[in-house]
């Protein structure tokens, strides 16, 4: 037995030279390969003439289940063929909804290994071709098929358990959850690639306008919370989670060009460096010690902070895995941004709003930007990259941003990947 | 654009400290996690007191489609939980039937990156719970679902195309194919973990004995080729491939403990070092330039040879991906062991037999040992490890073995992974 409690250090530093993302949404005529090519072309535009497709030496594709969604396995070489990058080695990485977070990590290790300088990492999922109930069943395969699924649980139910536990322990309310969604839709409205470019307030006005057009009685709601508490517009899915507490079903893809930091300048004048990366594995929900935090998220965060040499307070902006509204609250506590039980108050006070002290999910998050599960982790990195470079358009945070973080969860914390990004090399 | 045509060199050398494998076969009551735990326990026995489960710092699990075979996604953390290795990062690697070959490669990169010293890599597949026709359909998802499957192709048909092309170009015959199977069953009989511990000659004797028991006319066959040419015992599946040209459907798992070579001595007195690794991606069959070789296999072999600093002639023993008998012939040509068209004659002359100059598939190969697709690549490494250490029991090659090779294919060459192993560090 050897002593393995040693500091985790990469042999080489890794930077992001450029990013690409496609419009997230529901696209009946597009397959995974189409979506990925769109994201890749966006990356080519982002990089310009400094990049040639032949620069790519290997690639990792995060994808949850093209098997069950599209009945297509062995997706990585098909995408490689469509990008024109054969014969370089290409491998699919699967860790449920953290698949592309893990793909980023494999790309980092591949460069640090000395074998490669230029690595494409991407994520893709095509989900909307199945009916909603079938999508829910496919996603449920990320839980334990022996101990959890036979108990009748699907993901809204599982995260409902987390929400109930958080409410019970910390007096968290349904309104706190709703405020996460309201905030994220405000951000998503300003993200042209988001699935929903609409705020909750916009939804109220649309409903009222539609009633007026039809000559119906115009419904009145006092405010957004009042609207979201109305069972007729926001039905209960799995108590206490309502429809607008759940991320949507989404088709989408995103990708990054990772390069050895010492050659980042060959590709861009403004690289972003991955100064910390952490990944951890958690027990399945049925075997977890507690329900108000995810052990894998805490462990992954600690790994990433240690490698980066930063503390939670140093993180200026973060994209966290809000597959359900409760998940964002738990994430910001697990990452040490707030003490346990304090995240709901932080949302109340606007601390996590785009103009707050700790902006969370400026992209709109999974809730409003959309959640193509295998692409979501890299979608998060795309947002932090753009924010750090001041290229986030209307939703740009008005601060001197230097350090940001991404937090990508698979299942109910079976996997969590945390990456910490810093402007420059 | 940067110059990426440079020598591929790992920052650190990686060795195999120990291996584990379960009995391959059909096990109705076992799931993937059960099979993997069996292989892991075998590895613990192999390593003895020098190894503690807490030594493992990260793990990669090769698996083709627990999604479609078991309706279980996110398999890696479930297996991690059953091994008791949470919270270490664990990731599933998917490249069809080359999934665990790619898992080995990711384990190598993880150690070379400087982040880890001790990495578990494994592969697993649970296939036999589905009816045969459904398994064939699941495997077919490794081909292109848009261009190939709608043409009516499944894998026996696809490899039948390769066989026809090889026959047409090189005068290869059905007898050549049969001789591959006859050889591999002879080897598999001597492998206690093989699915089939039976030679073709044994099968003849069993059929005759059964007829005698039942008072039926005792069938006569002149020799094994005569037997295998009999449609009643060896029916055509996809011309020219008969039943005994196809690897079986198998449940199984295998794993390796990879360690930084500088600490290999802490775990074992007789490590085996991975001196070369190559992986390449090929176009789908419908888009391939030729049918008598796999471009990804050639490219992966070249990468591995270059890194190892060895030539095809230096390889003393190899496990190659004989998912169909024709695949073994094509593999040994793609790897440069024989010139194009010469592999059938090498089999004829016994060169690839266990006592020949270039023993191929001493484990029994996928044909006789079995082909649990996500585990097959690591199953190959297990065999070469044992042969190099002189621990292959009755099937031990009687030579001073120093260098061996594994060749693991996904799909019809969408992916190929080649690893070159050397005794010692």
Confidence bin at B9 (pLDDT 50/70/90): confident
- What's the CA gap between A279 and B91, in Å, rounded? 10
Residue B4 predicted with pLDDT over 80:
no
pLDDT confidence of residue A381: 98
Question: Based on the number of CB atoms within 10 Å of its own CB, is A219 exposed (0-12), middle (13-18) or buried (19 or more)?
Answer: middle
- The residue whose two tokens read 């006005």 is A205
Q: Structure pTM?
A: 0.97
pLDDT confidence of residue B284: 82
pLDDT confidence of residue A3: 43
Please name every residue paired with B405 in a beta bridge, in sequence order, or none if there are none. B318, B420
Residue B6 predicted with pLDDT over 60:
no
Contacts of A335 (CB under 8 A, 6+ apart): A297, A301, A312, A315, A318, A320, A405, A407, A418
- pLDDT, average across residues B333-359: 98
- What's the CA gap between B210 and A72, in Å, rounded? 43
- What's the CA gap between B318 and A59, in Å, rounded? 28
pLDDT tens digit sequence for A24-73:
999 999 999 999 999 999 999 999 999 999 999 999 999 999 999 999 99
- What's the CA gap between B303 and B8, in Å, rounded? 8
- pLDDT, average across residues A377-390: 98
- How close A314 gets to chain B, by Cα (Å)? 24
Confidence bin at B285 (pLDDT 50/70/90): confident
Residue B2 predicted with pLDDT over 60:
no
Residue A302 predicted with pLDDT over 60:
yes
Pick B67's closest partner by Cβ from A55, A65, A283: A65
pLDDT tens digit sequence for B133-158:
999 999 999 999 999 888 888 899 99
pLDDT confidence of residue B153: 86
Sign of CA dihedral B230, B232, B234, B235: positive
pLDDT tens digit sequence for B351-388:
999 999 999 999 999 999 999 999 999 999 999 999 99
CA nearest neighbour of A188 among A343, A421, A383 = A383
Would the CB atoms of A141 and B95 count as touching at under 8 Å? Answer: no
> Strand (E) positions, A163-287?
236-238, 241-242, 252-260, 272-281
Interface test mutation site (partner A, options B109, B126, B258, B280, max chain A beta carbons within 10 A): B109
Interface test mutation site (partner B, options A147, A281, A293, max chain B beta carbons within 10 A): A281
pLDDT confidence of residue B318: 98
Partner A, chain B 25-44, Cβ-Cβ below 8 Å: 31
Average pLDDT, chain A: 96
Interface test mutation site (partner A, options B80, B88, B94, max chain A beta carbons within 10 A): B94
pLDDT confidence of residue A412: 85
Q: Closest-CA residue in chain A for B4?
A: A55
Partner A, chain B 62-101, Cβ-Cβ below 8 Å: 64-65, 67-68, 70-74, 76-78, 80-81, 85-96
- What's the CA gap between B63 and A91, in Å, rounded? 12
Residue B85 predicted with pLDDT over 80:
yes
pLDDT confidence of residue A391: 98
Q: How many C-beta atoms lie closer than 10 Å to residue A5's C-beta?
A: 7
Residue B251 predicted with pLDDT over 50:
yes
pLDDT confidence of residue A421: 98
User: Do A227 and A200 form a contact (C-beta atoms < 8 A)?
Assistant: yes
pLDDT confidence of residue A6: 54
pLDDT confidence of residue B7: 56
The interaxial angle of helices A75-83 and A32-47, nearest 10 deg, is 50
Would the CB atoms of B95 and A108 count as touching at under 8 Å? Answer: no
Of B176, B371, B407, B416, catalytic: B371
Percent of chain B with pLDDT over 70: 98
Chain A touched by B129 (CB under 8 Å): no
Catalytic site includes residue A246: no
pLDDT confidence of residue A9: 85
pLDDT confidence of residue A286: 83
pLDDT tens digit sequence for A320-362:
999 999 999 999 999 999 999 999 999 999 999 999 999 999 9
Contacts of B346 (CB under 8 A, 6+ apart): B332, B337, B338, B352, B358
pLDDT confidence of residue A2: 43
- What's the CA gap between B87 and A413, in Å, rounded? 11
Catalytic site includes residue B371: yes
Would the CB atoms of B11 and A12 count as touching at under 8 Å? Answer: yes
- pLDDT, average across residues B155-166: 96
Task: Give contacts of A14 with chain B, Cβ < 8 Å.
Answer: none
pLDDT confidence of residue A223: 96
- pLDDT, average across residues A85-104: 98
Residue B77 predicted with pLDDT over 50:
yes
pLDDT tens digit sequence for A19-36:
999 999 999 999 999 999
Pick B81's closest partner by Cβ from A67, A71, A287: A287
Q: Closest-CA residue in chain B for A278?
A: B89
Confidence bin at A237 (pLDDT 50/70/90): very high
pLDDT tens digit sequence for B106-138:
999 999 999 999 999 999 999 999 999 999 999
Would the CB atoms of B92 and A93 count as touching at under 8 Å? Answer: yes
């Amino acid at each position: 037995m050897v002593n393995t409690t040693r500091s985790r250090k990469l042999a080489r530093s890794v930077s992001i030279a450029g990013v690409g993302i496609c419009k997230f949404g529901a696209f009946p005529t597009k397959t995974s390969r189409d979506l990925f090519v769109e994201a890749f072309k966006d990356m080519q535009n982002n990089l310009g003439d400094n990049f040639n497709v032949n620069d790519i030496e290997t690639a990792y594709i995060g994808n949850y289940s093209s098997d069950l969604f599209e009945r297509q396995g062995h997706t990585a070489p098909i995408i490689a063929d469509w990008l024109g990058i054969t014969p370089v080695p290409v491998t699919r990485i699967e860790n449920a909804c953290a698949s592309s977070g893990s793909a980023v990590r494999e790309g980092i290790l591949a460069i640090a290994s000395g074998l490669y300088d230029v690595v494409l990492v991407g994520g893709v999922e095509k989900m909307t071709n199945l009916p909603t109930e079938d999508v829910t069943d496919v996603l449920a395969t990320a839980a334990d098929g022996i101990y959890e699924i036979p108990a009748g649980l699907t993901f809204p139910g599982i995260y409902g358990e987390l929400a109930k536990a958080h409410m019970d322990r910390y007096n968290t309310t349904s309104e706190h959850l709703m405020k996460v969604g309201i905030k994220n839709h405000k951000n998503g409205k300003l993200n042209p690639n988001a699935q929903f470019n609409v705020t909750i307030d916009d939804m109220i006005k649309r409903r009222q306008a539609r009633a007026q057009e039809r000559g119906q009685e115009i419904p009145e709601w006092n405010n957004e919370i009042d609207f979201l508490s109305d069972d007729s517009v926001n039905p209960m899915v799995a108590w206490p989670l309502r429809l607008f507490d759940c991320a949507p079903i989404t088709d989408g893809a995103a990708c990054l060009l990772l390069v050895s930091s010492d050659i980042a300048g060959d590709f861009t004048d403004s690289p972003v460096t991955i100064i910390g990366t952490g990944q951890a594995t958690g027990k399945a929900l049925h075997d977890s010690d507690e329900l108000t935090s995810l052990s894998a998220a805490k462990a992954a965060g600690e790994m990433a902070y240690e490698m980066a040499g930063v503390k939670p307070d140093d993180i200026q902006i973060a994209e966290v895995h809000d597959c359900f509204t409760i998940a964002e609250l738990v994430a910001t506590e697990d990452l040490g941004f707030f003490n346990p039980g304090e995240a709901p108050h932080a949302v109340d006070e606007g601390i996590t709003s785009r103009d707050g002290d700790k902006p969370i999910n400026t992209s709109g998050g999974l809730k409003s930007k959309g959640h193509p599960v295998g692409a979501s982790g890299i979608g998060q990195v795309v947002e932090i990259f753009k924010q750090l470079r001041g290229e986030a358009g209307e939703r740009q945070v008005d601060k001197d941003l230097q350090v940001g973080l991404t937090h990508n969860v698979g299942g109910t914390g079976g996997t969590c990947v945390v990456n910490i990004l810093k402007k420059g090399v």
